[in-house]
Structure 1
């Protein structure tokens, strides 16, 4: 099979399209013929071994993960002898980051319990944009953020995969006041996704403009946690789903003290992969959730597109496909 292979840490330019052995499923696994995969933060971090904890998780001197790619959508090609919940030919999608990655390839083997059946109402290209980003959005908004109908929401990094799903999920939950923060070139697409107001982070600091929100959902975490308190209503909540390591660490350390003295809550989402995919499937089927995608692009373009992701120039999710035109 063809796969994008990572042989050494460095930069996305070190990724290469090569022939790689097609895996064979274990008794509890399925072999998935991948149609589409999405670029996400795991791929950007893994190729560069940054932040440092990537080396602790994925190999200190050289990568143990040879094929990146965490989000997939495809078709069950073969099932292991113990698999009874899926049949060959079933369309499935999943976040496979806890299964060793491997999405940047034509085939991957994963435990059958990991994947969910793809909604018929969306394409493989759309489905690949959902597993990781939608879990972060759902668990950030509702589990950690406790967002309620009628409240106000601000999303920082609103034009990416999590942000473009978060606004749709919030609107479906009865939240009408939703503000998005990102670069000016993403404002039009953010409006199309449902944001009532957009803020260009290069022109305006949302923590200093006087606005206050019941919930801030942050995909960037590019400042210290005390900065966000100004933009929260009394009793408001700040939830981060990712960002700079030192800011995340400080957020974890000061969160109890902030709540003790201000009654405002600061939380970090520890993602539970694939937990809410059935809910996502229902929302897609009802037309309440439609991912924004760039692409699909040929798999061979992965190096360029991982770099584009890392620079934050993408809108929604970047999708790669193994299909040939």
Structure 2
């Protein structure tokens, strides 16, 4: 029996309470969290009893409307703000009990952060902006510039290394911010609404770029957004927050097909199932006797991208894994039910969706 891997991030009953009377109420309650008493005292609960784990290579998208607590939770996990109660572990280390030296070390060597504000230094070139965090770490100018050039190539900004931020488009500036955060080779990547200030077309391009980078780098990521479409497109799992509470944390498919609350259901009503289901979730076993089409599809293909091709085939289509091995089949009948029918009649393996 295999031993479960240790999560990269583990949060246990994390709270963040704002308000001048918070300390007094907590002392009176001997440190116990009584949300009703805190609210009565005029406090605001930014994060309310958040517990979850994030494993290596997984992208967890924290999603919610303005004021839901999503950015506050991210800042608690990075200790940019101090949580009020609970436990936070990074690779098994107790983050909340680290002294300043240990905290600075983990931020410099394990964490990369990207925020909505690009925060580029206007008087420095693209190359100099990207090399800056490396030089702060004490890396030589020669080595930091070489690493920065490699990051410029990674985010496809070659030719702009000597440009200043004012000479770049919004999308290019955000690529510089991403390259700068990756320059230190972080194990953890925290992104707080990094694309929300961009125009819709540029935002779509940056999402494509982000997915490309993740397919190459396989980082462990916490990504904050208020955009449900963005969350569905990027996430392995989504945590949806309301009033500081995580209402549901699950794969995109499970959230769309099985919303846990009425609040979650409001987000999912307009989402087409073919946008979140993959071939792996709806494929059937091959009995070995039915002739198959020459067309094959990947188990990770999203249904909307392959539906037309499968529907145009007379025979079932083989579903293959990353090594090209057949793992199942798709039929016209399955596709019609997904697109136009009742998915409750199908056996849908939503547990495999989005797993890293």
Q: Under a length normalisation based on structure 2, what TM-score does the superposition of the two structures give?
A: 0.25
Q: Give the structure, 1 or 2, with the largest relative contact order (CA under 8 Å, sep 6 or more).
A: 1
Which protein is bigger by CA-based radius of gyration? 2
More strand by share: 1
More helix by share: 2
Q: Under a length normalisation based on structure 1, what TM-score does the superposition of the two structures give?
A: 0.27
